[in-house]
Amino acid sequence: MTLNIPFENTYAQLAPDFYTRQDPTPVKAPRLLAFNDGLGELLGVQRAEDAVLAEIFGGNAIPDGAAPLAQLYAGHQFGNYNPQLGDGRAVLLGEVVGSDGIRRDIQLKGSGPTPYSRNGDGRAWLGPVLREYVVSEAMHALGIPTTRALAAVATGETVWREGGLPGAVLTRVAKSHLRVGTFQIFAARGDAKALKTLTEYAIARHYPQANGPMGLLRAVRDAQVELIAAWMSVGFIHGVMNTDNSSIAGETIDYGPCAFMDVFHPNRVFSSIDRMGRYAYSNQPQIAVWNLAQLATALIQQFDDPEAVVEEATEIVHAMPEMIEAAWLRRFRAKIGITGAQEGDMELITDLLGLMADGQADFTNTFRALTTGGARDQFLAPEQFEAWQQRWTQRLADEDSPQDTMARANPVLIPRNHRIEQMIAAAVAGDFAPFERMMRALATPFADEAEFADLRHPPAEDEVVKATFCGT
Residues 61-103 pLDDT 10s: 999 999 999 999 999 999 999 988 999 999 999 999 999 999 9
Structure confidence at residue 373 (pLDDT): 87
pLDDT in tens, 355-377: 999 999 999 999 999 998 899 99
Contact criterion met (CB below 8 Å) for 459 and 416: yes
- The amino acid present at 185, given as its one-letter code, is I
Per-residue 3-state assignment (H helix, E strand, C coil) for 98-118: CCCCCEEEEEEECECCCCCCC
Q: Which of 64, 141, 73, 59 is nearest to 107 (CA)?
A: 59
Quickly count: other Cβ atoms within 10 Å of residue 119's Cβ. 6
> What's the average model confidence in pLDDT over 304-319?
96
User: HSE on the CB side for 183, CA within 13 Å?
Assistant: 33
Which of 79-88, 192-201, 382-391 ranks highest by mean pLDDT? 192-201
Give percent of the chain above pLDDT 70.
99
Contact criterion met (CB below 8 Å) for 279 and 240: yes
| Kind plus residue range of the DSSP H or E element containing 151 | strand 148-160
Give the span between the Cα atoms of 220 and 197, in whole angstroms: 17
State the pTM of this model: 0.97
Contact criterion met (CB below 8 Å) for 380 and 360: yes
Tell me if residue 244 is catalytic.
Answer: yes
Start-end of H helices in 80-191: 126-141, 180-188
Quickly state the pLDDT bin for 3 (edges 50, 70, 90). Answer: confident
Structure confidence at residue 1 (pLDDT): 56
> What's the average model confidence in pLDDT over 330-355?
97
Q: Which of 87, 105, 244, 262 is catalytic?
A: 244
Give the span between the Cα atoms of 128 and 231, in whole angstroms: 20
User: CA 4 → CA 66, 70, 170, distances in Å?
Assistant: 11, 22, 19
Q: Would you give the distance in Å from CA 72 to the centre of its chain?
A: 20
Give the span between the Cα atoms of 193 and 95, in whole angstroms: 24
- The amino acid present at 229, given as its one-letter code, is A
Structure confidence at residue 471 (pLDDT): 62
